[in-house]
Structure 1
């Protein structure tokens, strides 16, 4: 449901409380600790274009570089929790911190223009860069982080990466987020879910239905951690019954990740 019309402060308060409950959040202002999204929280994922803040869902996932604290504040005012998208597995030549990545840690293209896989063995180089990106998310008021490209070892990155090295890097990313009071999601990396479910607060998955991998996300749901799932090429009738049975929070999006969405 989109473009909801609210009238008066009472209606606004009711919406805020409803969204907090849907997001798996306590409504008490004194609730300690970081956000813990639970299964059953509808979400919006928009990484391109001006963010449409009118979508009636309790969770938004938006680009951390492209959106300022004002957008986060506006979403918070309507009761939303907000996830900060950053790329932690590939360099991006269009980001403001692009010069921080030395050539020695950049490898092959990850398939997107201007992006190159990172050598995740180099924790000494990448940790301070990613710490600054996490600081940016925290300073803008985000509740959580979606760190993209956490599966370089399973791709043709240009580096001889191992599963163990990827696990070490992914845990470092989770620790950086947690040190700042931010929840953090495991993006894809389906094969390492059993080892990483305890380190991450939720999961973000692309196309598990298309590739017949959705059951692999069960450890997150069993641990009462949300799985935010999107498909690009399948109609809802093809995957929503299974997604609902598994407890995934699913929708169809265009690959451009603009404001359009079709939820289950």
Structure 2
């Protein structure tokens, strides 16, 4: 569908398979009562390609998008920004903002790909006001292919760096587009990202957007990264489709406590909303 950047993809895949074998041996000692990384559950019955490793279920999880730091004791799964290195001896998820433009990347999109910035009737970028982020235009086959070529390069980079999976953020950005994008646009773009991840030997998460769970097979997603699904009573929507392969981030103690009680088979982490590092006084971390 589009070319992934970098030569020697076959060699990279072989290296990743060896790394996955080492990961299985390492995480097998985590002591979780849920499925372990060495289990045969690769999700192939739902379309996950053979050899693509899903995150282990019910293993301690951390969400480090605000900056990488040493893993808390017992953590076996971590999500980090694509510009940070993966952690040793853990299952690593690479965060990619595939549907919106982070402020530090505005010059790249505006300068090199202005036609891929979603615009209003006056030609101004459409903004997600909550995060002050421009939306990416995935509203046609041509634009989706162009966006997927860019994001596909980032995905290939995550694989080269040693990540095991991809987390594509803002799948629900169509809901903030003022009607310029719709669910179909998001689902079709997500499928291109999933194909790129699978081609690189990586699993890919559905990030939030419980309303799209029923379209999992169309998107090609393998597991879930869900923010505040206890707060909004959505966790069971995800588990109905993905089983225990649901990683949950809560930002309020009462939601975290409720999730730990109601979903003992899930990896659930309590974090501060800004996801700061431990040297910041606002840092919060707990897990169950």
Which range, TM-score by smaller chain?
A: 0.7 to 0.9
Structure 1, residues 201-254: CA drift from partner, whole Å, max 9, x if none?
Answer: 2100011111121221123443xx51000111242333321222xx33212110
CA–CA distance in 2 between the matches of 1:97 and 1:124?
Answer: 18
Deviation at 1:256, TM superposition (A): 1.2
CA–CA distance in 2 between the matches of 1:105 and 1:91?
Answer: 9
Aligned residue number for residue 166 of structure 1 = 186
Residues 88-99 of structure 1 correspond to what in structure 2 (within 5 A)? 88-95=98-105, 97-98=108-109, 99=111
Deviation at 1:181, TM superposition (A): 0.6
Aligned residue number for residue 194 of structure 1 = 214
| CA separation of 1:55 and 1:101: change in aligned 2, threshold 3 A | farther
Aligned residue number for residue 227 of structure 1 = 246
CA–CA distance in 2 between the matches of 1:191 and 1:17?
Answer: 34
| CA separation of 1:20 and 1:180: change in aligned 2, threshold 3 A | farther
> Gaps (5+ residues) in structure 2?
1-24, 40-49, 119-124, 278-283
Residues 1-264 of structure 1 correspond to what in structure 2 (within 5 A)? 17-19=28-30, 24-26=36-38, 33-65=51-83, 67-68=84-85, 72=86, 75-76=87-88, 79-95=89-105, 97-98=108-109, 99-106=111-118, 107-111=125-129, 113-121=131-139, 122-153=143-174, 155-158=175-178, 160-196=180-216, 199-222=220-243, 226-235=245-254, 236-244=256-264, 247-259=265-277, 260-264=284-288
Alignment coverage as a number of residue pairs: 236
Tell me whether 175-184 or 234-243 shows the greater mean CA deviation: 234-243
| CA separation of 1:209 and 1:113: change in aligned 2, threshold 3 A | closer
Structure 1, residues 150-171: CA drift from partner, whole Å, max 9, x if none?
Answer: 1122x22245222222211111
> Gaps (5+ residues) in structure 1?
1-13
Deviation at 1:197, TM superposition (A): 5.4
CA–CA distance in 1 between the matches of 2:193 and 2:208?
Answer: 14
Q: Cα RMSD over matched residues?
A: 2.8
| CA separation of 1:163 and 1:16: change in aligned 2, threshold 3 A | closer
TM-score by length of 2: 0.72
Deviation at 1:133, TM superposition (A): 0.9
